Amino acid sequence: MGRLSVAFALFCGLIAGIAASFAEDRSIVLATTTATQESGLLDYLLPIFRDKTGIEVTVIARRADEVLDGPRRGEADVVLMHARPQEEKFVADGFGVKRFDVMYNDYVLIAPKSDPAAVKGKDIVTALKAIEAKGAPFVTRGDRSGTHAAELALWIVAGIDIAAAKGAWYREAGQGMASALEAARAANAYVLSDRGSWISFRDRGDLDIVVEGDRRLLNQYGVTLVNPAKFPNVKKDLAQTFIDWLTSPEGQGAIAAFKIDGQQLFFPNSDRSGG
């Protein structure tokens, strides 16, 4: 009887171990940007995905210039970010399998309501030229984030070498978007923000949107499977299930349904054409 009890205990332990392993297998790691995480979108989407599929998603959020560091070492299963050139290079270098468009939001130029550079309603290039010419206070994130990279690219499009042109008027926050917006509010300065962060920012003071809708302010997001041929530990099937759901009518509908104060933050645009 004792032997049977021992055997039964071992059998139960084996079953428990198999069940635990199965539970672990029903989870994936998603590498993404801090802006995506801080928007609240993933807190909204991932429980919906988990309830439908039983797959848990662990999120690792980093600055845009650091997001791909972990996936390049096989430390994630899937990537969701908004830096297309880096995403495409990730795939071209063999670290990712294929990139799909998922959604977009946009950047907006925020300013004091007095608008000292008189840029309201202008396009973003005209606005940046006027700000630089007048030396109007401008707050940059200065933290190598995706928003910071987008801002630097826009100065280039405007024909301005910001490294050479910047002076006391160009102020570095060196932190996240909320801190940059707060610095702009305190200094009555211009600042480039993603729309979601602006919508979430409560203490606006005299700040308001002065430039929006310019196609150069589009902020496209993509999703990419980390290459399982390069990293055998990648949970290919589970990660692909996440990608398929995110780009499906159901996932796209969930993205569109996410709102703050009644305002939609992200606009789904997946056609599964890949990139």
**Given pLDDT bands bounded at 50, 70 and 90, which one contains residue 11?**
low
pLDDT tens track for 242-265: 999 999 999 999 999 999 889 999
The pTM score is 0.81
pLDDT of 99 over the 60 cut:
yes
Give the 3-state secondary structure of the chain.
Answer: CHHHHHHHHHHHHHHHHHHHHHHHHCEEEEEEEHHHHHCCHHHHHHHHHHHHHCCEEEEEEECCCCCCCCHHHCCCCEEEECCHHHHHHHHHCCCEEEEEEEEEEEEEEEEECCCCCCCCCCCHHHHHHHHHHHCCCEEECCCCCHHHHHHHHHHHHCCCCHHHHCCCCEEECCCCHHHHHHHHHHHCCEEEEEHHHHHHCCCCCCEEEEECCCHHHEEEEEEEEECCCCCCCCCHHHHHHHHHHHCCHHHHHHHHHCEECCEECCEECCCCCCC
pLDDT tens track for 158-190: 999 999 999 999 999 988 888 999 999 999 999
